[in-house]
Amino acid sequence: MSHLLPPELWSHIFSLASDEDIILYPGLPTSFVPAAWYRYTFTPQLTLRTPQKALCILQCFAKPTKTSIVATCKAWRGLGTEVLMRCLFFSHIDDLFELAGCLAADPERGRWTRRLHVEHYGLGEWGDSEIYVDLLRDIIQHFPNLEIFILDWRPMALCFGDVAGTLGKYCRNLRTAYWHATVALVPKVIWVLDKLPNLVSVHLQFSTSASPHTVATTGELPLGVVESVHLTLPTLQELSLHGHAPLIIKQASGWSLPSLRYFSFESRSNEVSVHDVVGFLAAHGARLVFLDLNCITALDFPTILDLCPVVGTFCFNPDWPQAHADAGLEATTAPTQTRMPAIWKLVNRPHAHITQIGLHGLLFAFGVGLEPLAHMDSPAYQRANDIYFGLLASREAFPRLERVRVLCRVVLSNMVSKSGPSVVSGTECRERWERWCGVCEELGVRLEDCTGALLKDLPSRADDHSNNRHLVKDYMAHARIIHAARHVM
């Protein structure tokens, strides 16, 4: 039967059968991409799976399909091997030794590889081990057509420099990068980005390190000659920065990013100043359509949204209280003792384009947040939640608002496990939940949980969510929608 169709058509069929149209999608899922419920067969508890995890499952499902194609007949073996090598996924670092042996036996196979994804399931530190660094370098050298490189390992420690240098030398067509590095390696990150002009999506996570080579994050990190590098990334559409990233945000304010449309920043420390964020958005905010700021720094939202006039989706953390003298509320300080701004408002003028709002946090709103945070001043944070929600519900700030989504998976998981908001401290949390749902329903605005379902309709623990493929296909459908919206070529 294989001779009835040309090889090019068989290759395309095999690619579709392996879901490569989704696996090779160059964009990275944002915080607004919905998670989905799943129930393991050995436990009755419902579990939330992220889009990132769903994509890993999709790749795991694709491998048996590819190996079956290779084993079907001699005519398909060559085409199937090409499809097998096109997208490589490893959940254990030791599996890379087998890949290295395969490439040593036939180096030409590396030219087929377009995606390399390495996860870190259940493994400890490995960054200082020279054997793994050399292994990755040897493998990457065989991939001149690599487009997506995801190394989800935290932290990468001092190995990042060598791996990044190899990428910059051999993989000039790289479009998607997902890396972890220590703050001491910010100069190396900037250097390698300068060597990769075709990047479309970049996720960078910076962590501190106990290494003696690490520079204290509270001071100025010397960048050397890299400080004068003016990066030009003409195709970069999505930039995501997590962790200790104040220096790279400050540097990025001077970069040329004409295609940037999606920007996400997440940090659990207050080391990033509002001036750095405003400076970055002053340079790049005019064309953004997606803005996600999940940090505890007291941000100037009115100024920020003025700098982003066409943004359609805006995500922020409403857990951090602000003082409001007119309302007679006492000034409140965050756990970091950082004073909050003295104005309760989100915009200086109605924003004409925002249709979707994402709310991070809300760990105190429904009484089901993290237990270690129970010692904190819950009423102050609940007041902040109510005031922010009141600003959203007034319609004055966002007249075109269609959807408000609670993004915190911890809140939803705990609400489901407790069959709703907490009743330990009275009825206030449940009343808040019912009031918010009722207000949004009256306004015609969907109040959603992080799965995209209505927040008022919590799933029953008896519901059937045992199908792996259901979550994967949900993510595939959403990825196609985002792909069409971004016009990624």
DSSP 341: P
3-state secondary structure of 325: coil
Q: Is the pLDDT of residue 364 over 50?
A: yes
The two tokens of residue 370 are: 């993290």
Residue 138 pLDDT exceeds 60:
yes
The reply to whether 134 falls in a domain is yes
Return the number of other C-beta atoms located less than 10 Å from residue 46's C-beta.
Answer: 19
- Look at 473 and 351; give whichever has higher pLDDT: 351
Give which of 152, 187, 193, 153 is closest to 171, Cα–Cα.
193
Average pLDDT along the chain: 78
Whole-number percent of the chain with pLDDT over 70: 76
Q: What is the pLDDT of residue 227?
A: 67
- Domain membership of residue 321 (yes or no) is no
Residue 94 has pLDDT above 60, yes or no: yes
Secondary structure string (H, E, C) spanning 27-46: CCCCCCCCCEEEECCCCCCE
Q: Residues 447, 453: contact at Cβ < 8 Å?
A: no
> Does position 476 have pLDDT exceeding 80, yes or no?
no
What does the pLDDT average to over 169-192?
87
Nearest-5° Cα angle at 89, 235 to 74: 110
Domain assignment of residue 15, yes or no: no
In this prediction, residue 314 carries a pLDDT of: 96
- Taking residues 103-129, what's their average pLDDT? 76
pLDDT of residue 384: 85
Flag whether 142 is in a domain. Answer: yes
Higher pLDDT, 15 or 407: 407
**199 vs 489, residue with greater confidence:** 199
| Domain-located, residue 366 | no
What average pLDDT does this structure show over 191-200?
Answer: 90
Mean pLDDT computed over 375-396: 81
Give domain status of residue 95, yes or no.
Answer: yes
| High-pLDDT (> 90) share of the chain, % | 27
Answer with the residue of higher pLDDT: 43 or 343. 43
Residue 48 has pLDDT above 70, yes or no: yes
Our count of domains for the chain comes to 1
User: Does residue 403 have a pLDDT over 90?
Assistant: yes
What does the pLDDT average to over 173-180? Answer: 91
pLDDT score recorded for residue 377: 61
**Helices (DSSP H) in 394-467: which residue ranges?**
409-417, 428-443
Closest C-alpha among 395, 385, 318, 300 to residue 351 = 395
Q: Are 116 and 148 in contact (CB under 8 A)?
A: yes
Confidence of residue 478 (pLDDT cuts 50, 70, 90): very low
The region of weakest confidence among 5-19, 51-65, 107-121, 187-201 is 5-19
Range of the domain at 194: 91-212
Q: What is the mean pLDDT of residues 245-250?
A: 85
Instruction: Determine the average pLDDT of the residues in 252-266.
Output: 94
- Average pLDDT, stretch 363-391? 75
Reported as a pLDDT band with limits 50, 70 and 90, residue 43 is low
Is there a domain that residue 201 lies in? yes
**457 found inside a domain:** no
Q: Residue 329: which pLDDT band, with cuts at 50, 70 and 90? A: very low
Report pLDDT digits (tens) over 420-446.
787 665 577 888 889 999 999 999 999
Side-chain half-sphere exposure of 5, counting CA atoms within 13 A? 13
- Is residue 46 predicted with pLDDT exceeding 60? yes
The pLDDT of residue 373: 56
Please tell me the pTM assigned to this model: 0.85
Total Cβ atoms within 10 A of residue 106: 11
- Nearest residue to 15 via CA among 96, 80, 90: 80
Read off the CATH number of the domain in which 193 is found: 3.80.10.10
d(CA 183, CA 270): 15
Q: Which of 168, 170, 171, 94 is nearest to 129 (CA)?
A: 94
Is 7 or 137 the better-scoring residue by pLDDT? Answer: 137
In this structure, of 273-277, 330-334, 357-361, 453-457, the range with the lowest mean pLDDT score is 330-334
Q: What is the pLDDT of residue 131?
A: 75
Cβ–Cβ < 8 Å for 60, 54? no
Could you report the per-residue pLDDT of 198-232, keeping only the tens digit for each? 999 999 988 775 443 444 444 445 555 566 778 89
- Give the least confident one: 148-157, 238-247, 301-310: 148-157
Q: What pLDDT, on the 0 to 100 scale, is given for residue 265?
A: 93
Higher pLDDT pick, 90 / 80:
90
| Predicted confidence (pLDDT) at residue 471 exceeds the cutoff of 60 | no
Q: Is the Cβ–Cβ distance between 277 and 249 less than 8 Å?
A: yes
pLDDT at residue 148, as a whole number:
95
